[in-house]
Amino acid sequence: MIRNLSKKELETILREIQVYGFCLVKKLITQSAKQRLISKVIKYYNESVVNNLKFKGRPDRDKKDLRVYNLPNKDKVFIDLITNQQIEKILKPLINDKYYRFLPNNVPNYILNSFSARSSGFFLDLHIDSWFPFQGNFPISILILFVLEDMNENNGATVVVPGSHQSGKYTNRDLKNVKVIEAQAGDVMFMDSRTWHGTKANKTNKSRWLINALFTRWWHKQQFDFVNSLPKKIYHKLSNKQKQVLGYCSIPPLTELDRINTKCGYNVLKNF
């Protein structure tokens, strides 16, 4: 699904995220995977429309967006996308906890926080996905944007403020000097979640789909309870590593007689 990254590419990606707060990687999704992913996204979006699904708590700013929430519950293909080894090579140096201990050092211990598909409607104000601003070389979370349709200034492209991840400040939403990310279907953008970012308004009558995946350190609360809501038919097809990325190895114990540590290894998976 994801083409292999050269050592030089990987070094460039990690350096640009550190310096600028983001990196756009061209043509990272293979052609066949791109077509499969967008067809799946459109399928699940159309199903939500047909079934007239309502999403409580959805803000007014999103009412013109096209959205598919909670992708892990929809199809294993989405989980395969985000647990690809090439993605892992980028995330592990950035948000793995090297003192986790309960899992081998060569596997992920970061977890998926949120995972959805979006097509722009209204513009989206500058914001951060780290929940609070801070300075330093250790990000809490990394946002990945998988571009499924070309995006530009007219159809709701992502905008960023380069270097803002080290500002230690909440966003200035009146800021006009932003960088518009123009990208083609198949490109993937990696972003330190402290980076100020938003979107332009979609001024066309066409969709501009991308997939958003936010990964966090193992101790962060997730947007959805993936562990207790994941369909069994999907769960039983996953590898131990995929289950861990969804949060199965960082579940708070029920009582002290269960465990005394939120961190745990693959051995806990036998309980599901």
3-state helix, strand, coil split of the chain in percent (to 5) is 30, 20, 50
Q: Can you spell out the DSSP letters for 62-115?
A: GTTSEEE--GGGT-HHHHHHHT-HHHHHHHHHHH--TT--SS-TTS---EEEEE
Q: Is residue 29 part of a domain?
A: yes
Query: What is the tally of structural domains in the chain?
Result: 1
Question: What's the domain range around 199?
Answer: 7-271
For the beta sheet containing 141-147, the strands, ordered from the edge strand earlier in sequence to the opposite edge, are 22-25, 188-192, 141-147, 209-216, 111-119, 66-68
81 part of a folded domain? yes
- Where residue 55 sits, what CATH number does that domain have? 2.60.120.620
Q: Work out the end-to-end distance of the chain between its first and last CA atoms, rounded to an integer number of angstroms.
A: 28
Single-letter amino acid code for the residue at 239: S
Does residue 40 sit within a domain? yes
Residue 80, domain member (yes or no): yes
To the question of pTM greater than 0.75 for the whole model, the response is yes
Yes or no: say if 227 and 136 are a contact pair by the CB < 8 Å rule. no
Report if residue 100 sits inside a domain.
yes
Phi, psi of 214 (to 5 degrees): -110, 120
263: in domain: yes
Residue-by-residue pLDDT tens, the chain, 272 positions = 999 999 999 999 999 999 999 999 999 999 999 999 999 999 999 999 998 988 988 888 888 899 999 999 999 999 999 999 999 999 999 999 999 999 999 999 999 999 999 999 999 999 999 999 999 999 999 999 999 999 999 999 999 999 999 999 999 999 989 999 999 999 999 999 999 999 999 999 999 999 999 999 999 999 999 999 999 999 999 999 999 999 999 999 999 989 999 999 999 998 88
Q: Is residue 1 one of the residues assigned to a domain?
A: no
Alpha helix (H) ranges present in the chain?
7-20, 31-50, 76-82, 85-95, 226-229, 232-235, 240-245
Please report whether residue 2 resides in a domain.
Answer: no
